Amino acid sequence: MPYRVTFVCTGNICRSPMAEWVLRHHVEEEGLDVEVDSSGTGGWHVGDGADDRTVAALHRAGYRSAHIARRFEADWFDRYDLILALDDGHLRALRSMAPDAEALARIRLLREFDPAADGDLDVPDPYYGGRADFDLVLEMVEAAIPGLLEEIRAGLKAA
């Protein structure tokens, strides 16, 4: 059975799909049995593709992208081994939906896996910014990937 990871941001068009496709790239490169997806805490963009600036940032860095936004549902907790919030607001929203302690234990902040995060664990929302803001988000996501891959490898071994 694959290890399942999901990323959660606000509208599921900027940060979480970016993180999804960066992690997809790395687990595919390593041949890990991991399913990766993403969603948002809000439903404003359900059915939309990823923001064009997200897609452009991913493509500039050599990543693929294909995405349809969706909203995280409370009954999805059992689907995932790891639920990664992109900022503290998403973390609080997910925790408030968690049905039990087991579900709560699956929720983490993405930047917890970046040893250089230095206490600031939020990935800022680039939506109202420009190219540099999207590139910064991509850098933050990529910085967390090595630690996240360690967590995933440990989870696969434990399964």
> Is 39's pLDDT higher than 90?
yes
Nearest to 8 by CA among 99, 59, 114, 79: 79
Is 14 tagged catalytic?
Answer: no
Written as six digits, the tokens of 29 are 């490169």
Q: Which of 70, 108, 122, 125 is catalytic?
A: 125
Burial of 153 from C-beta contacts in 10 A (0-12 / 13-18 / 19+): middle
Q: Which of 9, 14, 51, 111 is catalytic?
A: 9
- Residue range 136-151: mean pLDDT, rounded: 98
The total domain count for the chain is 1
Is 9 tagged catalytic?
Answer: yes
- Residue range 15-35: mean pLDDT, rounded: 98
> Is 151's pLDDT higher than 90?
yes
- Residue range 99-110: mean pLDDT, rounded: 98
Check if the beta carbon of residue 8 is closer than 8 Å to that of residue 84: yes
> Is 116's pLDDT higher than 90?
yes
Task: List phi, psi (to 5°) of 96.
Answer: -70, -25
Query: Which helix (DSSP H) or strand (DSSP E) does residue 88 occupy?
Result: helix 88-97
User: Beta-carbon neighbour count of residue 88 at 10 Å?
Assistant: 11
Is 125 tagged catalytic?
Answer: yes
> Which 8-state DSSP code applies to residue 107?
E
pTM metric for this prediction: 0.97
- Residue range 78-87: mean pLDDT, rounded: 98
Going by C-beta distance under 8 Å and a sequence separation of 6 or more, which residues neighbour residue 64? 21, 24, 25, 58
- Residue range 7-31: mean pLDDT, rounded: 98
Q: 15-30 and 131-158 are packed helices; what angle lies between their axes, rounded to 10 degrees?
A: 50
In this prediction, residue 118 carries a pLDDT of 85
> Is 67's pLDDT higher than 90?
yes
Range of the domain at 116: 3-158
Q: Which of 4, 15, 24, 111 is catalytic?
A: 15
CATH number at residue 66: 3.40.50.2300
